[in-house]
Structure 1
Amino acid sequence: IQDERGQKVITTGPYGYVRHPMYAGAILYFAGTALVLGSWWGLALVLVFIILLAIRTFIEEKTLRTGLRGYDDYAARVRYKLIPMVW
């Protein structure tokens, strides 16, 4: 987080529904690719990827809450991290 660059919390578009929409998109992309290719190994890797992303979002959330002004309010308004109505 670079305060001197004027970074701020984005609350519009997909960020109004989930806090990490790019990660959600990556999960859909990798899962879709594995399904299209019919790869069970690919789906297994998607599960590993989801676990790693869950860990990363936990760490990232802690950093954003302490270093980015307004993130706590944003997190209170946008409850879901990756999947609307789920998590």
Structure 2
Amino acid sequence: MFLFTPLALGSYWAVIPFLLSVPMNVFRIKSEEEVLLRELPGYKDYCLKTHYRLIPLIW
């Protein structure tokens, strides 16, 4: 959605913040998972059942 909204509105400059948001979201997801693994009981078992973090069959 973040990628195609600027294109649909005709603002190609708005694609740049989208490209910057991808690595920021990946970093955020990884750091949140570290905290959850450390502090939430049962989260490690959940991770063993759920193989993908964000995009099924990819990541």
Greater relative contact order structure (CA < 8 Å, 6+ sep) = 1
Question: Equivalent residue for 2:33?
Answer: 61
Q: TM-score, normalised by structure 2?
A: 0.83
Structure 2 segments unaligned to the other structure (5+ residues): none
Aligned counterparts of 2:42 and 2:11: Cα–Cα separation in 1: 42
Q: Deviations over 1:21-48 (max 9, x none)?
A: xxxxxxx3x2232232133222221111
Q: TM-score, normalised by structure 1?
A: 0.60
Structure 1 segments unaligned to the other structure (5+ residues): 1-27
Aligned length: 59
Larger Rg: 2
